[in-house]
Amino acid sequence: MKLLENVILGKETLKNAIAMAPLTRSRADIEGVVSDLTTLYYTQRASAGLLITEAINIT
């Protein structure tokens, strides 16, 4: 397998073998709502490969 070749993961075909872990921990406000900056962050990286997004903190 080469890094920039298609990869089959279960029923999904991924564009490449690049995977990015969540890197935006604690960007939600006190109400648990993420801002437009979080949307921009993931939009800018959408073509990178598999993105594993974050969950909102539970209190």
How confident is the model over 33-49, as pLDDT tens digits? 878 888 888 888 887 77
CA distance 20 to 13: 16
What total of structural domains would you count in the chain? 1
Highest average pLDDT, of 11-15, 36-40, 51-55, comes from 11-15
Task: Give 58's pLDDT tier (boundaries 50, 70, 90).
Answer: low
Structural domain for 28, as ranges: 18-59
Residue 51 included in any domain: yes
Dihedral, CA of residue 39, residue 43, residue 46 and residue 48, to nearest 10:
-110
Give pLDDT, residue 26. 65
Residue 28 included in any domain: yes
Task: Give 57's pLDDT tier (boundaries 50, 70, 90).
Answer: low
Give pLDDT, residue 11. 95
Statement: residue 5 has pLDDT above 80: yes
